[in-house]
Amino acid sequence: MSAQTARLGVVILCHTALRRAAQLARFWLQADCPVVLHVDRSVSEADLQALKSDLGAHPLLRFSPRHRCDWGSWRLVLASQEASALLLKDFPSVGHVLLSSGSCLPLRPAAALLAHLDAHPETDFIESVSITHADWITGGLSEERFTLYFPFNWRRQRWLFDRCVDLQRKLELRRRIPAPLRPHMGSQWWCLTRATLDAILTDPNRTRYERYFRQNWIPDESYFQTLARLHAREIESRSLTLVKFDRHGRPNLFYDDHLQLLRRSDCFLARKIWPEAERLYSFFLSDQAKGLDPVTPEPAKIDRYFELAEKQRVEGRAGLYMQSRFPHADSATTKSAAPYSVFTGFEHVFQNFDYWLGQVTGARVHGHLFAPDAVHFHGGARVWHGAISNSAAIRDYNPRMFLTNLLWATRPERQCFLHGPGDVMDGTLSWFMATDTNAQISVIRGAWLLGLQDAPGSDAEKIARAGLLHRQEQDWVENLNSRHTLARVRIWSLAEFMQDPSARLSEIVREIAGEAALAAHGVPPLRAADGFEPFLARLRNQGLPAQVLKECQF
């Protein structure tokens, strides 16, 4: 029998989904690898018997003494020790021992792993990182795992655990690390050579080390990792098992839809697999052997996939407001999805300003999005992307979300729109735009007077309207001048702007489109301002206060 025995022995620690553990055991047995199963003590006797009868008697199969292995407890190490000792004792031909769990899944045929181990007969595959560099630890202690006492269970007695750690920090209690050991940590799923494992198990100081490690936090991530550094001849500090942790340090589960991703891994096993992932189990345990072409390993692709997902969970997508993302008003994230430009008063100064702007910048230029009668989308559209309606009532129900929706639905296209004191000036909206880093806001104060000149109506009506527009404009400018403003804001009075209109306009447009476009299209012609001075004089003489007019004379 031993002539056929493969050089790899497998230890499987299982506590749930015994059906899957049996499948895994069969997979390794078929490749003539000896298997030792450790079934957790919490598994009922009936389930254990069912597993045993399911597997039947097999010359290469053993069951190791059962322990109750809670997460991160010393018994996990104990179970691994006993199971590997049993394996080494009963199967002398075994050269490497692989520690795996019932929710690990081999990603490649057993022969591939055997060949890999044959090529590296002296190498221990164990992730073992010096604690001074272990910055990958998520959600936990690093060096203090080795220097504090941990009498309480982290999962069940969290409060006591935390207080106990606090107290020891305060009292500066420190345990001494036994002499030749240099603390290392890493993934608890390893593959060690017989020589190293033997040395660890028969170390004369074993009891002394064990007494120390029993008090450690999560010893299954440090016991073998530290001792391997002491005994191994050649360590490849990389686990053969692919594990992807989330930000709480818990392993992500793999499901059926990860099949193609897992095929691209350069690891030999992966964990954790969702026990009901039928497609994964049937593919990797049987189908794959049927001669599918192997895929080129692209581990970076797997990393990127998980990094992107993690980023989406933690940072979210900028500018998105939805049922499960509703950022705090002062959260550090960008408030809107894409850059946009707001122009106040420009349509009164230049002819066909919106058309020209569209030509030069290639951006989408709308009319007055917040006009009182309706939303003036580009080209007078009734609905815009995302089925955003042009109804003024819907927009005014939540003007801020109207804007964020528009920017989200049209991203990354730049949106430009006209916005003046004649529009619905909602306070929250003005403040939102002023404090949004994506906004570029350019204001010509008093330009509305040019518009008022052309508007129909008697002078008395115009004076009344001028008062309203002036107040609205003041509110708008006040928001923009706040010290909390984050938008790119430019404000000129009409007189200032008219000193050099083309230079001022070029300055804005350059930020959007660059020099070349500007050179090609030039600056739009100014509107004729005939009769503006007499118009202002007339208004003043009929009672319009001088401060309204003072910024407009040019």
Partner 1 sequence: MFSPLPAGQERWFDFRMQWKRRRLRARAIAKARELHLLKAGRRGRADILLFCTIRNEIERVDWFLQHYRRLGVQHFIFIDNDSTDGTRARLMAEPDTTVYGTKASYRASRFGMDWINFLMLRHAHGAWCVVADADELLVYPHWETRPLPALTDWLDQQHQPVLPAMMLELYPKGPLDAAPCQPGTDPTKVLNWFDAGNYTITHKPLLDCLLIQGGPRARHFFASSPNRAPTLTKLPLIKWSFHNTWVNSTHSILPRALNRVFATDGGEQISGALLHTKFLATVVEKARIEKARGEHFGNAQVFDAYYDHVARAPDLWCETSTRFEGWQQLEALGLISRGGWV
- Which residues here bind partner 1, judged by CB under 8 A? 244, 246-247, 250, 252-253, 255-257, 274, 276, 305-306, 309-310, 312-317, 320-329, 331-333, 335, 381-389, 391, 393-394, 397-398, 400-402, 405, 408-409
Q: Which is nearer to partner 1, 91 or 377 (CB)?
A: 377
Residue placing its CB nearer to partner 1 in the complex, 1 or 322: 322
Q: Supply the minimum distance, in Å, between the C-beta of residue 428 and partner 1.
A: 9
Q: Please name which of 544, 414, 431, 430 lies closest in space to residue 484, comparing C-alpha atoms.
A: 431
Q: Choose between 331 and 482: whose C-beta lies nearer to partner 1.
A: 331
Query: Angle at the Cα of 399 (from 393 to 405), degrees rounded to 5?
Result: 105
**CA–CA separation, 116 vs 106, rounded Å?**
14
Provide, rounded to whole angstroms, the least separation between the CB of residue 280 and partner 1. Answer: 10
- Alpha carbon distance 286, 106 (integer Å): 11
- CB of 330: closest distance to partner 1 in angstroms? 9
Q: Decide whether 177 or 374 has the Cβ nearer to partner 1.
A: 374
Token match 């009868």: residue? 53
Would you say 143 or 276 has its CB closer to partner 1? Answer: 276
Strand partners, 322: 325
Least distance in Å: CB of 325 to partner 1? Answer: 5
Taking the C-alpha atoms of residue 215 and residue 74, their distance in angstroms, rounded to an integer, is: 8
Q: Which of 346/402 has CB closer to partner 1?
A: 402
With 0-12 CB in 10 A as exposed, 13-18 as middle and 19+ as buried, what is 240? buried
Q: Check: CB of residue 385 under 8 Å from CB of residue 364.
A: no
In this structure, what token pair is assigned to residue 554? 């040019």
Q: How far is the CB of 79 from partner 1 (least distance, A)?
A: 23
CA 208 to chain centre: 43
CB of 382 to partner 1, least distance (A): 7
In the three-class reduction of DSSP (H, G, I as helix; E, B as strand; rest coil), residue 261 is classed as helix
Nearest one of 313, 306, 297 to 260, comparing CA atoms: 297
Is 321 or 532 the residue whose CB approaches partner 1 more closely?
321
Q: Looking at residue 257, what DSSP letter applies?
A: G
**Token pair for residue 480?**
């923009």
Q: Which residues have a Cβ under 8 Å from the Cβ of 510 and sit 6 or more positions away? A: 518
- 8-state DSSP, 136: T
CB of 16 to partner 1, least distance (A): 11
- From residue 173, alpha-carbon distances to 162, 216, 458 in Å are 15, 14, 87
> Which of 178/427 has CB closer to partner 1?
427
259 within 8 A of 183, measured Cβ to Cβ: no
Nearest distance in Å: CB 27, partner 1: 23
Residue closer to partner 1, measured from CB, 140 or 451: 140
Q: How far is the CB of 14 from partner 1 (least distance, A)?
A: 17
